[in-house]
């Protein structure tokens, strides 16, 4: 009985650490309640020397503004990539310095991962508010506490097509999932920065066109939150 109870408690903590809508401290956003047909496309990881230009070209072609949650180490390795994102009018967020699982990270690790990435973002001249997204969407105590103490918002998502193997197996399935599940105020999570994400990149124009056909307008995360 004790073993079963302990397992249940551990499993409950595990599920809570991955919650899209709840955390122990501070503000968390997975979607914004609004009557307006607006939606935020968000991209995690990078910037990538190989694929960032392609993604930016597609967004420019379709006149879409998005939010990029970038990794500090990759910003330092590719400052031209983040400059291109900023110059194209997109929003930049913090996705930690080295993309670790932050569930049980200690205070020093949390501070270092976030502050080093903030510094890399500011070093290229970005002036906007820097939202934060935890790697794998995981957080428990220390990370939300740090964010709350520093008046930082946690940005999650409510549409995540790549999280389902049957959906992620096809660009058409990825696009259909987003188009069918998006609602007013949705935040869509996509990964398009690496070679292994070719299906998501292939799905992106279909997603944009399909959401437009449903009447959605694309906004950044800050525009979504500020307009609630």
Cβ atoms of 41 and 158 within 8 Å: the answer is no
Cβ atoms of 17 and 140 within 8 Å: the answer is yes
Compute the average pLDDT of residues 99-103: 96
Question: Which tens digit of pLDDT belongs to each residue from 46-57?
Answer: 999 999 999 999
pLDDT at 7: 47
pLDDT at 12: 55
Please count the CA atoms within 13 angstroms of the CA of 7 that sit on its side-chain side: 4
Compute the average pLDDT of residues 163-179: 97
From the list 63, 101, 191, 226, the catalytic residue is 191
**DSSP string covering 165-183, please?**
HHHHT-HHHHHHHHHHH--
Catalytic status, residue 177:
no
CATH superfamily of 18-226: Glycoside hydrolase/deacetylase (3.20.20.370)
Q: Which residues are CB-neighbours of 2 under 8 A, at least 6 positions away? A: none
Percent of the chain with pLDDT over 90: 89
Q: Which residues are CB-neighbours of 196 under 8 A, at least 6 positions away? A: none
In three-state secondary structure terms, 154 is: strand
- Global pTM value: 0.93
Decide if pLDDT at 9 tops 50. no
Q: Mean pLDDT, the chain, as a whole number? A: 94
Decide if pLDDT at 5 tops 70. no
Cβ atoms of 106 and 142 within 8 Å: the answer is yes
Compute the average pLDDT of residues 113-139: 97
Percent of the chain with pLDDT over 70: 93
Cβ atoms of 185 and 32 within 8 Å: the answer is yes
Catalytic status, residue 151:
no
Decide if pLDDT at 171 tops 90. yes
Decide if pLDDT at 227 tops 60. yes
| CA 78 centroid distance within chain | 19
From the list 44, 45, 118, 158, the catalytic residue is 44
Decide if pLDDT at 10 tops 50. no
């Amino acid at each position: 009985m004790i073993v079963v109870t302990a397992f249940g408690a551990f499993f409950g903590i595990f599920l809570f650490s991955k919650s899209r809508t709840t955390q122990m401290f501070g503000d968390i956003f997975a979607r914004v309640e609004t009557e307006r047909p607006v939606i935020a496309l968000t991209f995690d990881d990078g910037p990538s020397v190989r694929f960032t230009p392609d993604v930016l070209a597609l967004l420019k072609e379709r006149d879409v503004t998005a939010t990029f949650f970038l990794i500090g180490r990759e910003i330092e390795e590719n400052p031209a990539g983040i400059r291109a994102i900023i110059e194209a009018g997109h929003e930049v967020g913090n996705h930690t310095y080295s993309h670790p699982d932050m569930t049980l990270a200690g205070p020093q690790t949390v501070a270092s991962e976030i502050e080093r990435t903030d510094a890399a973002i500011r070093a290229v001249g970005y002036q906007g508010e820097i939202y934060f997204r935890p790697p794998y969407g995981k957080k428990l105590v220390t990370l939300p506490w740090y964010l709350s103490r520093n008046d930082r918002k946690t940005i999650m998502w409510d549409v995540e097509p790549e999280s389902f193997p049957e959906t992620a197996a096809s660009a058409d399935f990825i696009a259909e999932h987003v188009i069918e599940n998006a609602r007013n105020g949705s935040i869509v999570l996509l990964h398009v920065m690496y070679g292994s994400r070719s299906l998501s990149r292939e799905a992106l124009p279909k997603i944009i066109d399909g959401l437009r056909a449903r009447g959605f307008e694309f906004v950044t995360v800050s525009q979504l939150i500020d307009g609630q």
